[in-house]
Amino acid sequence: MFDGSIEYCKNIAETSDFTATQGEFYLEPQPAAQPLVFVPNPALRSTRPPRDRTVIRLPSYEQVKRDPVLYAHANRVLHLETNPGNARALVQAHGEGATARDVWLNPPPIPLTTAEMDHIFDLPYARNPHPRYADARGRHDGDTKIPAWEMIRFSVNIMRGCFGGCTFCSITEHEGRIIQSRSEKSILREVEEMRDKVQGFTGVVSDLGGPTANMYRLGCKSPEIEAACRKPSCVYPGICQNLTTDHAPLTRIYQRTRALPGVKKVLVGSGLRYDLAIRSPSYVKELVQHHVGGYLKIAPEHTEEGPLSKMMKPGIGSYDKFKQLFEKFSAQAGKQQFLIPYFIAAHPGTTDEDMLNLALWLKQNGFRADQVQAFYPRPWPRRRRCTTPASIRWSACTATSAAKQWTPSRASAAAACTRLSCATTTPTTGRCCAKP
């Protein structure tokens, strides 16, 4: 009887035209699944304002001060709105109640053209500190010497901006990530004026560069893609396929500058992006054979993939490739020259094992640490948001105190140390050998 009832129900369910009778039951076939279609309600339709007339309201100052997660969120939004082609204004409330005010941050300015850059740099600058800092003779030596000015006294800035996007750096927030370059004529004209007018010039240009030494004339191949792009870096995790990497214009400037009468040497003191440089071996050859004064500073920042990924820096393999080219072209020129690598300790995301491997790498490559730089959180960089107490725990001390405790005189001992913890004391002194 039960099986017959099931068969009866099945027959009814498969029939397309039937009438239900009271006291009987049947199975209703399920319709095939259909995708949901959202139909806008004409009564509620409103026009969205254009992107350049919209703003983003960030969490209030009081909220980000209390909540590390909201602080990180606001920081991320800030760095996403750095492209002048698509950035929107940011608004943040400060204060509560009747004293509340909104802080309005406009989008970044449109990058300067080459003609505009030339106009700014061709203005009649004095190329000297303010007279109030000079001595009675109007000079800046002896007690009135300014070390910061001495560093840039005979340097020439050829560009602005950086598209590297390193998380510990704030150049993008200051100068933008779209490169703004001067013309060759403007650069050569400034070198000639420095040669003829600046007191103390000996024929050596101390630096021909900018925020990054070798980003002159580099940029996106397509203005449309550049205006729509929201990536924080054009070179991480790899060099963008839309990025031009031709160093020929920069190489030509180096050659024309060192050929000027009265110019004996043109050095490059700005930071070099070596992952870009190895794309143009001819540039590396010109740089190494004519513009290195024995030592070239370079910044791998670390050797381990973990910290490098947090910094958004290329792997140590790019450094090795550049080192091979550097040594090859130095040997061809008959010069004995050296690379001076820079590294960051205590960067967020760095483990004791990472630092141990870095110390072993230094030892294997014959380096002795001259100075130790611990990561110091500053307001603008993205990595700053990882140093709030709720989002990171320092095992022994904060980065700030670490920078104060470690001194150059003890750096070599720290680089050679193979212990995982400074808390483990030595049997003889009862304290860490590298700490005061």
Tell me the per-residue pLDDT of 81-97, one tens digit each, with 9 for 90 and over. Answer: 999 999 999 999 999 88
Mean pLDDT of all residues in 381-388: 52
220 DSSP assignment: B
Structure-block tokens of residue 323: 């080192």
Closest alpha carbon to 84 in 199, 202, 228: 228
Is the pLDDT at 395 greater than 60? The verdict is: no
The residue among 172 and 194 whose pLDDT is bigger is 194
The pLDDT assigned to 237 comes to 93
| Tens digit of each residue's pLDDT (9 = 90 or more) over 284-317 | 999 999 999 999 989 999 999 999 999 999 999 9
Q: Residue 246 and residue 179: Cα distance in Å, rounded?
A: 14
Domain(s) of CATH 3.30.750.210: residues in the chain: 114-295
Q: Residue 166 and residue 311: Cα distance in Å, rounded?
A: 6
Among 232-241, 245-254, 386-395, the least confident range = 386-395
Between 281-290 and 248-258, two packed helices, what is the crossing angle to 10 degrees?
A: 20
Residue with tokens 């996007």: 165
Q: Is the peptide bond prior to 147 cis by the omega test (within 30 degrees of 0)?
A: no
Among 40-49, 126-135, 172-181, the least confident range = 40-49
Among 38-52, 327-341, 408-422, the least confident range = 408-422
The pLDDT assigned to 297 comes to 87
Tell me how far the alpha carbon of residue 409 is from its chain's centroid: 30
Architecture of domain 114-295: 2-Layer Sandwich (3.30)
3-state DSSP helix/strand/coil percent for the chain, to nearest 5?
40, 10, 50
Task: Name the 3-class secondary structure at 306.
Answer: helix
Is the pLDDT at 29 greater than 90? The verdict is: no
pTM of the model: 0.75
Mean pLDDT of all residues in 391-396: 33
Structure-block tokens of residue 3: 């099986």
